[in-house]
């Protein structure tokens, strides 16, 4: 199941998709490092983002 991420941060609003949850976790970690200067996100942060910012898509980018 493809995943879609919409960043929760008001000054960021990044948006990207990934093929599965494992890839999505890598993309989120990369995004946090590049855009938010978070080198090693905690499991709590990852769980929070996966809950609040990640949705499942039908496999195609919606936008
Ligand atoms: Zn962001």
For 4-50, write each residue's pLDDT tens digit: 999 988 999 999 999 999 999 999 999 999 999 999 999 999 999 99
| Confidence class for position 62, pLDDT limits 50, 70, 90 | low
User: Is residue 59 scored above 60 in pLDDT?
Assistant: no
**Dist. CA 10 → ligand 1 center (Å):** 8
Q: Does 52 score more than 80 pLDDT? A: yes
Taking a 5 Å cut-off on Cβ, the residues next to ion ligand 1 are 7, 9, 12, 14, 35
Check if the beta carbon of residue 21 is closer than 8 Å to that of residue 31.
no
Residue 10 lies in domain:
3-56
Report residue 37: phi and psi, to 5°: 55, 35
CA of 59 to the centre of ligand 1 (A): 22
Does a structural domain hold residue 24? yes
Q: Is residue 45 a part of any domain in this protein?
A: yes
CA of 1 to the centre of ligand 1 (A): 22
| Domain membership flag for residue 61 | no
In a domain, 49, yes or no: yes
Position 46 in a domain: yes
Looking at the structure of the chain, the number of domains it has is: 1
Q: Give CA–CA dist 12/2, Å, rounded.
A: 22
């Amino acid at each position: 199941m493809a995943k879609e991420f919409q960043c929760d941060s008001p000054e960021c609003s990044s948006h990207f998709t990934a093929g599965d949850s494992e890839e999505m976790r890598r993309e989120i970690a990369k995004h946090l490092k590049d855009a938010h200067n978070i080198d090693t996100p905690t499991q709590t942060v990852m769980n929070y983002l996966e809950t609040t910012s990640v949705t499942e898509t039908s496999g195609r980018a919606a936008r």
